[in-house]
Every structure is written in structure tokens, then in C-alpha cells.
Structure 1
């Protein structure tokens, strides 16, 4: 990974790569696992978007985007609650000296989650405070014009940073490979089943046929679980890395 210099701070993708991409030097780099993770993410987004449009859950492409961002917000809320509990259980289950190592490593995944939450909240916070809206007087004063120009430039920078961060967070499960290579598949499985249960209780996709609704409610958890089990098996078979080994059990 290239070093993040002052000049590269103006490149939102470079900053996003530094914030959201795992960087632990000794983590496993397995191209087969990475390709499958990316394919799983793309297929999931395409399938859900197709269902939302085909069965009238969303009226148009803008509604699909709104629905996906709403689901991302829900995911962030649930992950915000799940992440510290899952990490705490993982660390508590490990034995010294790994316990202290994992506790130190948890800072980067937590920072990536916090950065994405702040990024998604920033535009609403700016508009909510009344800095930019349809009644904004762009010529009130020179100082205000400079401030508004700076806010506009910041929002333009923030858009690709947020999109890149969302994509990387989905693929890398919020940088949790920096904690340990086995954590992303475990956390992804836990989170996707939580979301499925949440969708059942909130009555998601009630307007679509029952068979289709069941396929989409269970399709993601089952497929993610299968991919995660395969990833854990490959880590153990190809690289000698296992959950028991991480916990020193």
C-alpha cells in the first residue's frame, strides 16, 4: 500500500484505500477468496435491485438507491452494536499473548466503521445546520461565500470517498482482517443472519410473492454462510490458519 502523503489527501480514493482497506503486513493475500468476495457483493446488489424494481417495491432507479442506502444505514447501526460484542467475545476467548495483540489490532476496524458512519452523516449534518439549503444566500458576505465554497468542495470530495468506503466495507467486512484473517467470514455470517431476522420482523418485501420473498430473505444468509465456511476451510487447508489457532486453543 502506498504511503498516504499530504498531496494524496486530496484524492478521496487514496484516502479511502488507507481508511477502509486492511493493511496488516502478515495477513493472507488469497486471490481466489478476494474474487469470490467481490463476486458475492456484486451479485447480491444486482439481485436485490432487480427484485425491488421487478416487483414494484421500488418505483424507479432512484428508489432503489434510496432503499440500498437505507439498508446500508441499518447495517451500520446493527454492526455498530454487533462489532464490539463480537470482537469482545473473540478477544475474551483467546489466550495470552494473543488477547493483547487482538485488542490492539481492533483499533483500525473500529476506526473504519466510525469513519463510514461520520461520512454518511456529514451531508445531513451540514444541511441540517442550515449551511446549505434551497434558501441559502450565496452572496451574503465574502466570508460566507468562501465557507460555502469550502463546504461544496468538501461534499464533492466526500461523495467518491463514501462510495468507495461502502464498497470496500462490504468486501472486507469493515477491515476486520486487520484483527485476524478468520474474523471477516465469521462477522459477515453473523451480520447477514441478523439482517435477515430484522427483515422478517419489519415485514420486508411483503408485497412480493412468498417464494420470491423467501428466496431473497434466505438467499443472502445461506450464500454468505457458504462462502464464509469455504473461506475458513481454505484458510485452514491452504495457509494453516484457523479459529482455534487464533485463540490458541
Structure 2
């Protein structure tokens, strides 16, 4: 495991760059006339972050599976064992969200009435805990890409690049940011993936130059 502060900062910068771009877009082009609309904007950003995590969860097994399958001989078994730890992080974040239906879903009102006040208190505590854990998990998953560096150091920048372009395609297909002027909308939607791609390429370059780690070497041993 490589301990390189510059690489860790690059991983953080990838996330910060996307957040700063969103703040710039919001302050410049989104007219927040009341607190209700402000709450909608914050809710939209949280939803988009959670969608990023869900896309990452779906992308994770495909990319990691392809990476493990492409590795030679003994490396394949090593990477599969390491991937199980990262898979545990994915499962934990998803499971943490399952307490929200217990606490909020109208369809489960009968169950909440059945457990009584003590049960409702326990459910509320679990819901608050899961909210904090989910927010923490979203942050970690977006910055550290579900700790995929534990499999191999080249995986986080590769996964981050794939994820950000998937999200850009999703934004284009769903017509996101309709209230933003066309040129600024294109610049924003393309700015995030281009910025993340550049930072990821820089991270891969540093790993290769300073630590002798590359995608080719990771697969061939």
C-alpha cells in the first residue's frame, strides 16, 4: 500500500473540484429567491451525490471484475481477496439506508405502531445513525472510491474517471440544469469530467513515476 500524501490530496481534489463547480454554478446562475427553493437546491445536490454512489456501486463490480479477470495467475486471486473488503464497504453503505423505510414509509405505519413507543425510539435512533453513516459513506466513497486502493493503487483514478463520465452522460440524457444558459450548462457538465480526468491522469502519472505503479504492471505483475 502506497502512502503518498500528494496522491491522497489528488483524491480529495477530485471531489472538491466537483463541489466547487456546483457552488459556482448555483451562486452565478441559480436564482434562490426563498428558503424553500434553497432547500430544493440542497436536496438536488444530495440526491445527485447519492446517485453517484449508486452508479459507483453498479460500476464497481464491472470494473473490478474486469481488472481481476485481466490479471495474470496468482495476482487474480490476490485482487479478488482484496476486493471482498471493498465489497463489504459497498454492502454496509447500502444496508445503512434500509432503516429509513422503517422510520418514514407510510406503508410501515402498522409495524411502527406494533412495536410501540420503545420500538419507535429504537427505529428513530437507527434512522439518525444510518443518516450520519450514509452521509459519511457517501463522502468516503466519492473521495476514496470505496477504498479500491486496497485492491491496487491504480484503481481509484480509473474508477473515478469512469464514474464522472457516466454521471455526465446521465445529466445529458435527463436534461439536468435546464435553468442554466446553454454555454454555461455545457461548460459545467463537461468541466467536471474533464477536471476529474486530468486529476486522475496526474495521479496515475505520479504513481508510475514515483512508485513504479501502472495499470500494465498491476495486471502483469
For normalisation by structure 2, the TM-score amounts to 0.88
- The superposition leaves residues 16-56 of structure 1 with CA deviations (integer Å, 9 ceiling, x where unpaired) of xxxxxxxxxxx111111212322332232132144245433
**CA distance in structure 1 between the partners assigned to 2:217 and 2:32 by the alignment:** 46
Aligned position for 2:157: 185
Q: 2:12 aligns with which of 13, 26, 38?
A: 38
Are the aligned partners of 1:193 and 1:221 in contact in 2 as well (CA < 8 Å)? yes
Q: Using a 3 Å threshold, how does the CA distance of structure 1 residues 205 and 48 change in structure 2: closer, same or farther?
A: same
Aligned position for 1:48: 22
Aligned position for 1:109: 86
What does 1:7-26 align with in structure 2 at a 5 Å threshold?
none
Q: 1:196 aligns with which of 151, 164, 168?
A: 168
- The superposition leaves residues 206-248 of structure 1 with CA deviations (integer Å, 9 ceiling, x where unpaired) of 2211111111111111111111111111111111111111101
CA RMSD of aligned residues (A): 2.4
- The superposition leaves residues 83-136 of structure 1 with CA deviations (integer Å, 9 ceiling, x where unpaired) of 11111111111101100111111112222122222223431343225359xxx7
Q: Using a 3 Å threshold, how does the CA distance of structure 1 residues 131 and 57 change in structure 2: closer, same or farther?
A: farther
Q: Decide which moves more: 100-109 or 46-55.
A: 46-55
What does 1:142-161 align with in structure 2 at a 5 Å threshold?
144-161=116-133
Q: Using a 3 Å threshold, how does the CA distance of structure 1 residues 72 and 117 change in structure 2: closer, same or farther?
A: farther
Q: Give the count of matched residue pairs.
A: 217
- Greater share of helix residues, 1 or 2? 2
1:130 maps to 2:108: yes
Name structure 1 gaps, 5 residues minimum: 1-26
Q: Using a 3 Å threshold, how does the CA distance of structure 1 residues 73 and 101 change in structure 2: closer, same or farther?
A: same
Q: Using a 3 Å threshold, how does the CA distance of structure 1 residues 108 and 57 change in structure 2: closer, same or farther?
A: farther
- Report the Cα offset of residue 147 of structure 1: 0.9
Are the aligned partners of 1:57 and 1:205 in contact in 2 as well (CA < 8 Å)? no
Are the aligned partners of 2:53 and 2:138 in contact in 1 as well (CA < 8 Å)? no
Aligned position for 1:13: none
For normalisation by structure 1, the TM-score amounts to 0.79
